Amino acid sequence: MSVQISPYLNFDGDAREAIELYGSVFGAEPAIDTFDSVGPVDDPATAKKVMHSQVEVPGVGTVMASDVPPGTPAPPHGTIALSGGQEEREQLHAWFAALSDGARDVMGIETAPWGDEFGMVTDRFGTVWMVNVAGAPAT
């Protein structure tokens, strides 16, 4: 078994929509548990919010997300980096295009000064995604 780092994103009511988008981008079905699916809930406004969700990105890892309970400030979204080599280039470009739908602050994928292809996008939920495709090996 190896250690894996998994990003865990917090939202203020739109975790379900976000994790469903990420599932569609990565071709995987997200697992979603609401607050009321794991036990009694005192506040009806919390019942159907996402207590925990995750989507397995095949061959990459897991993205997890939840809604914060009412009255709890949602922390700022983090940045998720997706990196691969030339053999993953097509897949990385496709994921970037899908994440760019409805996004803001899109910096398209271009050859970076360090020789790799690099792009960055802030998706419609405020999550920043960085995509890096390693440059072709020197011959």
Residues 84 and 60 in one domain: no
Residues 63 and 12 in one domain: yes
Domain, as residue range, for 41? 8-67
Q: Name the burial class of residue 116, with classes exposed (0-12), middle (13-18) and buried (19+) by CB atoms within 10 angstroms of its CB.
A: middle
Domain tally, the chain: 2
Give the pLDDT confidence of 51-86 residue by residue, as tens digits: 999 999 888 889 999 998 777 777 777 788 888 889
Residues 12 and 54 in one domain: yes
Give the pLDDT confidence of 16-47 residue by residue, as tens digits: 999 999 999 999 999 999 988 878 888 888 88
Select from 67, 90, 116 the last residue of a domain: 67
Q: What is the CATH number of the domain that holds 57?
A: 3.10.180.10
- Please tell me whether the overall predicted TM-score, pTM, comes out greater than 0.85 for this model: no
Give ∠ CA 78-84-85 in degrees, rounded to 5: 155
